[in-house]
């Protein structure tokens, strides 16, 4: 169990959701629903946050893949330039 659960609030969950941090919003809403299971608004907010989290692609890998492609392409270009320099020295 997360030691921060005693400070979880509905406002905190809304802020995380508004910022697109769906996993954290789900975590907080789950705790709040356990504390107050009779609140249908919290259950609805939890369902919405779960849906958004599932729809959201993994932003870290989504940003890294193009960066790795660019990096590899730059490495290949560098290697080609070094080959050309060596070839030019030989001539």
Structural domain spans, the chain: 1-56, 58-91
> pLDDT of the chain along its 91 residues, tens only?
566 768 899 999 999 999 999 999 999 999 999 999 999 999 999 999 999 988 886 655 556 777 888 889 999 999 999 999 999 998 8
For residues 20-47, one letter each, b for 16 or more C-beta atoms within 10 angstroms of the residue's C-beta and e for the rest, the string is: ebbebbbbbbbbbbeeeeeeeebeebbe
Sequential DSSP letters for 59-81:
HHHHHHHHHHHHHHHHHHHHHHH
- pTM of the predicted protein model: 0.60
Which of 38, 44, 40 lies closest to 25, judged by CA?
Answer: 44
């Amino acid at each position: 169990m997360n030691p921060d659960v005693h400070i979880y609030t509905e406002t905190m969950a809304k802020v995380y959701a508004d910022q697109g941090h769906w996993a954290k919003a789900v975590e907080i809403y789950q705790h709040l629903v356990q504390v107050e299971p009779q609140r249908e608004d919290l259950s609805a907010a939890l369902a919405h946050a779960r849906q958004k989290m599932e729809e959201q692609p993994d932003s870290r890998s989504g940003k890294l893949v193009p960066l790795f492609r660019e990096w590899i392409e730059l490495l290949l270009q560098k290697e080609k330039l070094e080959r050309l320099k060596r070839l030019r020295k030989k001539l």
